[in-house]
């Protein structure tokens, strides 16, 4: 590919990336790509620090969407069983435990296509209670209207997660019950309400490298880059259309992290789902390439995650520390 590989001065992050430019970054020699990403990472962050977030499913299963990777869809027969919305006291207690374990951000996820106004007061109570603990708050609840986004902001919500999942050209192979524009509209409502966006995607769903570049190009050309950018490594789940997917090559996943860092230099780039099957060495390469956030805790919604003892061992071996912790 003969497209010039240009990375703007990180002091002025770009919003005009072309798909060809992002693809060209993926094509760089691996060591050169990781070196460039590490340089940019150090302009904005301490490379020895990791943000620790914890995620709780506050309403599990029964989702009307048909996202091909998700065990919570009512379209597929999986081991996940539907459950009602948790009460605020239960969620706040879980957040308190997460904070005691070192988490800096607490994320609440509900298996909804969109938020119903009748559920907003309960969700707002959760958010207010978690915020009062001194934690950053994040929620992923499906599509939002502008008015709902304002209500969540007023309750104390700092971040709203709404992933694009994949590039626009491949999206229809993964989800048919919600359009790409629906997702972009919710992100716009979140930004307009004054909240930070948490938005990324998934690799390993059968997409091509060009599709991965398409996802990152979409994120990098939003009116503002996502403040938090999670990259999920697909956890294939029996009973879902993508349950038999082959794993993505380790170096290809690291390339995804590195290119995300280059095109969205100020974002918190998170290794999200999939760490359960990642080696210590793979995670170390991801941190070298610019990842600086992970989910801690034994569960991510409905899939496994390394236990806290393993994460403490990982940080100790790499001489890294939780963000904001004393040296």
Name residue, tokens 């009512």: 74
The pLDDT value recorded for residue 2 is: 54
327 catalytic per annotation: no
Instruction: Please report the pLDDT score of residue 15 as a whole number.
Output: 93
Q: Is the pLDDT of residue 98 over 70?
A: yes
Report the C-alpha gap between 103 and 100 in whole angstroms.
Answer: 7
Band (173; pLDDT cuts 50, 70, 90): very high
Q: Pick the catalytic residue from 138, 199, 264, 286.
A: 138
Q: DSSP assignment, residue 63?
A: B
State the pLDDT confidence band at 162, using cuts at 50, 70 and 90.
very high
Residues 125-138: tens digit of each pLDDT: 999 999 999 999 99
Q: Which residue in 14, 36, 70, 286 is the catalytic one?
A: 70
What is the pLDDT at residue 6? Answer: 56
Please identify which of the residues 14, 105, 198, 264 carries the catalytic annotation: 198
At 76, the pLDDT band (50, 70, 90 cuts) reads confident
Given this model, what pLDDT does residue 307 score? Answer: 65
What token pair was written down for 269?
């780039």
Task: Choose between 9 and 15: higher pLDDT.
Answer: 15
Average pLDDT, the chain: 90
| DSSP secondary structure letters along 139-180 | EE-SB--HHHHHHHHHHT--EEE---BS-TTTGGGT-SSS-H
User: Who has greater pLDDT, 299 or 283?
Assistant: 283
Average pLDDT estimate for 153-176? 96
Q: What pLDDT is attached to residue 3?
A: 55
Taking a C-beta distance cutoff of 8 angstroms, is the pair 74, 62 a contact?
Answer: yes
Of 62-66, 126-130, 174-178, give the lowest mean pLDDT range.
62-66
Percentage of the chain exceeding pLDDT 90: 70
- Examine the pLDDT at 4 and tell me if it is beyond 80: no
User: Can you give the pLDDT at residue 296?
Assistant: 82
Q: How confident is the model at residue 21 (pLDDT cuts 50, 70, 90)?
A: very high
- Is residue 264 flagged as an active site residue? no
Q: Is 199 a catalytic residue?
A: no
Which of 14, 63, 105, 217 is flagged as catalytic? 63
Residue 83: band (very low, low, confident or very high) from pLDDT cuts 50, 70, 90? confident
Q: Looking at 54-63, 227-236, 311-320, which range is the least confident one?
A: 54-63
Residues of the chain with pLDDT > 70: what percent? 92
If one compares 69 and 259, the residue with the highest pLDDT of the two is 259
Residue with tokens 């038999």: 244
Is 67 noted as a catalytic residue in this protein? yes
Q: Clarify whether 286 is annotated catalytic.
A: no
Distance (Å, rounded) from C-alpha 44 to C-alpha 265?
A: 7
**237 — pLDDT class (breaks 50, 70, 90):** confident
Tell me the three-class secondary structure of 64-117, residue by residue: CCCCCCCCCECCCCCCCCCCCCCCHHHHHHHHHHHHHCCCCEEEEEECCCECCH
Looking at per-residue confidence, does 72 or 59 come out higher?
59
User: 56 pLDDT exceeds 60?
Assistant: yes
pLDDT in tens, 26-54: 999 999 999 999 999 999 999 999 999 99
How far is the C-alpha of 263 from the C-alpha of 147, rounded, in Å? Answer: 31
Domains and CATH numbers, the chain: 22-316 (3.20.20.70)
Whole-number pLDDT of residue 304: 54
Catalytic-residue membership of 63: yes
From 67, 199, 264, 286, active-site residue: 67
Q: Is residue 225 within 8 Å of 266, Cβ to Cβ?
A: yes
Sign for the pseudo-dihedral over CA of 165, 177, 146, 148: negative
């Amino acid at each position: 590919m003969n497209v010039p590989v240009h990375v703007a001065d990180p002091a002025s992050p770009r919003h005009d990336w072309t798909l060809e430019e992002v693809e060209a970054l993926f094509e760089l020699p691996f060591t050169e790509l990781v070196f460039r990403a590490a340089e940019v990472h150090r302009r904005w962050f301490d490379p020895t620090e990791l943000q620790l977030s914890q995620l709780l499913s506050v309403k599990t299963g029964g989702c009307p969407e048909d996202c091909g990777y998700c065990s919570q869809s009512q379209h597929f027969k999986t081991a996940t069983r539907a459950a009602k919305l948790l009460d605020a006291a239960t969620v706040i207690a879980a957040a308190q435990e997460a904070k005691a374990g070192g988490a800096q951000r607490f994320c609440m996820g509900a298996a909804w296509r969109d938020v119903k106004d009748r559920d907003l007061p309960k969700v707002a109570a959760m958010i207010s209670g978690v915020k009062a603990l001194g934690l950053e708050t994040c929620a992923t609840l499906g599509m939002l209207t502008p008015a709902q986004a304002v209500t969540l902001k007023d309750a104390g919500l700092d971040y709203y997660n709404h992933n694009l999942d994949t590039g626009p050209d491949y999206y229809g192979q993964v989800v048919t019950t919600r359009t790409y524009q629906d997702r972009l509209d919710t992100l716009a409502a979140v930004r307009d309400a004054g909240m930070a966006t948490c938005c990324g995607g998934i690799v390993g769903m059968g997409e091509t490298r060009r599709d991965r570049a398409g996802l990152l190009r979409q994120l990098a050309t939003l009116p503002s880059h996502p403040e938090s950018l999670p990259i999920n490594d697909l956890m294939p789940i029996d009973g879902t259309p993508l349950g038999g997917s082959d794993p993505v090559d380790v170096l290809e996943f690291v390339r995804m992290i590195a290119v995300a860092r280059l095109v969205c230099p100020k974002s918190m780039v998170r290794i999200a789902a999939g760490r359960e099957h990642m080696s210590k060495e793979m995670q170390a390469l991801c941190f070298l390439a610019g990842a600086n956030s992970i989910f801690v805790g034994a569960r991510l919604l409905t899939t496994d995650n390394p236990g806290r003892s393993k994460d403490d061992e990982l940080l100790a071996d790499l001489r890294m520390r939780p963000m904001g912790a004393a040296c």
